[in-house]
Structure 1
Amino acid sequence: MDDERNETPLERADRNFGELLQELRVMQTGVQFLFAFLLTLAFTARFPSLDTTQRATYVTTLLLAVLAAALLTAPAAVHRVLFHLGAKPQIVRVSSRLAACGMGALVLALSASVLLVVDVTLNRAAGIAAGVGTFMVCAGLWAVMPWLLRRALVRRRAAPSGEEAPEGPERSP
Structure 2
Amino acid sequence: MAHTQQGRSGRRGRDETAEERADRMWQELIQEVRVAQTGVQILFGFLLTVVFTPKYEELSDTDQTIYIITVVLGACATGALIGPVSLHRLVAGRSVKPQAVRWASRLTLFGLVLLLATTCAALLLILRVATRDGFVPYLVAGVVAWYLLCWFVLPMWTRHRHTAP
Fold agreement, TM-score > 0.5: yes
What is the rounded CA distance, in whole Å, between the counterparts of 2:102 and 2:57 in structure 1? 44
SS in 2 for 1:130: helix
* Cα displacement string for residues 9-64 of structure 1 (whole angstroms, at most 9, x for unaligned residues): 00000000000000000000000111111111112221111001100000000000
Pick from 26, 50, 53: which aligns with 2:59? 50
SS in 1 for 2:92: helix
- Equivalent runs, 1:78-97 vs 2, <5 Å: 78-97=87-106
- Equivalent runs, 1:137-152 vs 2, <5 Å: 137-152=146-161
- TM-score (normalizing by structure 2): 0.90
RMSD: 1.4
Q: 1:4: Cα distance to partner?
A: 2.2
Report the residue type matching 1:117 in the other structure.
I
Cα pair 1:62 1:109 within 8 Å, conserved: yes
Cα pair 1:116 1:127 within 8 Å, conserved: no
Q: 1:124: Cα distance to partner?
A: 5.2
Structure 1 residue runs without a partner (length 5+): 159-173
Structure 2 residue runs without a partner (length 5+): 1-8
- Give the match for residue 79 of structure 2: 70
What is the rounded CA distance, in whole Å, between the counterparts of 1:124 and 1:36 in structure 2? 27
- TM-score (normalizing by structure 1): 0.86
What is the rounded CA distance, in whole Å, between the counterparts of 2:74 and 2:27 in structure 1? 24
User: Number of residues paired by the alignment?
Assistant: 156
- Following TM superposition, the consecutive aligned residue runs of length 4 or more in structure 1 with deviations greater than 4 angstroms are none
Report the residue type matching 1:32 in the other structure.
Q
- Give the match for residue 100 of structure 1: 109
Q: 1:70: Cα distance to partner?
A: 0.0
* Cα displacement string for residues 114-163 of structure 1 (whole angstroms, at most 9, x for unaligned residues): 00000000025333223212211111101000011111103xx34xxxxx
Pick from 11, 14, 22: which aligns with 2:23? 14
Cα pair 1:110 1:134 within 8 Å, conserved: no
What is the rounded CA distance, in whole Å, between the counterparts of 1:124 and 1:100 in structure 2? 33
Pick from 108, 116, 124: which aligns with 2:125? 116
